[in-house]
Amino acid sequence: MKLFIDSAELSEIEAAAKTGLIDGVTTNPSLVAKAGVPFEKLLLRICELIDGPISAEVTTLTAPEMIAQGKQLAKLHKNIVVKLPLTWEGLKTCSALSAEGIRTNVTLCFSEVQAMMAAKAGATYISPFVGRLDDIGQDGMGLIRGIRQVYDNYGYETRILVASIRHVDHMRQSVLAGGDVGTLPYKVFQQLLSHPLTDSGLARFMKDWETMKG
Ligand code: E4P
């Protein structure tokens, strides 16, 4: 499974990159606005930190505008993946950019049918938001299982990029459900290895070792 960082904070991306375990980055307009660095400058800096797919979202709403903006973003760096909303205009854009060999990430997916439509439009990645579904009392992880089944049934090659991950158990369930990529806030990434038995086990090993030496 690939691991992406869901962040536009350069310090977080840099720290995560140092582990050698990060395969890519996803950003969205809210994260970019929070980071406060001009968009293109930020993307280029992220591309220096991680050599993998970097999702950059369009901020326009019609297909002609999204196509123009998507092409401009894709030109910035070979690793840029153009992120598009799951709307008719977004999917028209997805088909057009895919036909030109530009990679896409279709975002704000909340149903299996939406995911099937994005795959038909040639999306490289589909981003189902599990946390936001859980927030409204629906089954976020059930959606991942459903999309996995749809894509396997029909042989779609679109990658399932599990998004809106809020905690480590979302990650555990994503792995079991057959997600292709998990994109994680830095805070959740840091928690991935935490287990009380790992901590107590290591403390015991060290103590026993010191006792033997003594
Ligand atoms: C993914 O591409 C999105 O940027 C992100 O995962 C959304 O997460 P949120 O629902 O916690 O804002």
Q: Is the torsion defined by CA of 68, 151, 126, 101 positive or negative? A: negative
In angstroms, what is the span from residue 199 Cα to ligand 1's centroid? 30
pLDDT of residue 99: 98
| Residue stretches of the chain with pLDDT short of 50 | none
Ligand 1 pocket residue status of 127, Cβ below 6 Å: yes
Give me the catalytic one of 71, 75, 83, 187.
83
Look up residue 185 and give its two tokens.
């806030």
Half-sphere exposure (Cβ direction) of 98: Cα atoms closer than 13 Å? 21
Ligand 1 pocket residue status of 107, Cβ below 6 Å: yes
The model's pLDDT over 44-80, given as tens digits with 9 standing for 90+, comes to 999 999 999 999 999 999 999 999 999 999 999 999 9
pTM of the model: 0.96
pLDDT of residue 214: 75
Residue 44's Cβ-count burial label (10 Å; 0-12, 13-18, 19+) is middle
**Domains parsed from the chain with CATH numbers:** 2-213 (3.20.20.70)
Which residues are within 8 A (CB) of 28 and not within 5 positions of it... i.e. 6 or more apart?
57, 83, 107
CA distance 25 to 36: 17
In angstroms, what is the span from residue 64 Cα to ligand 1's centroid? 25
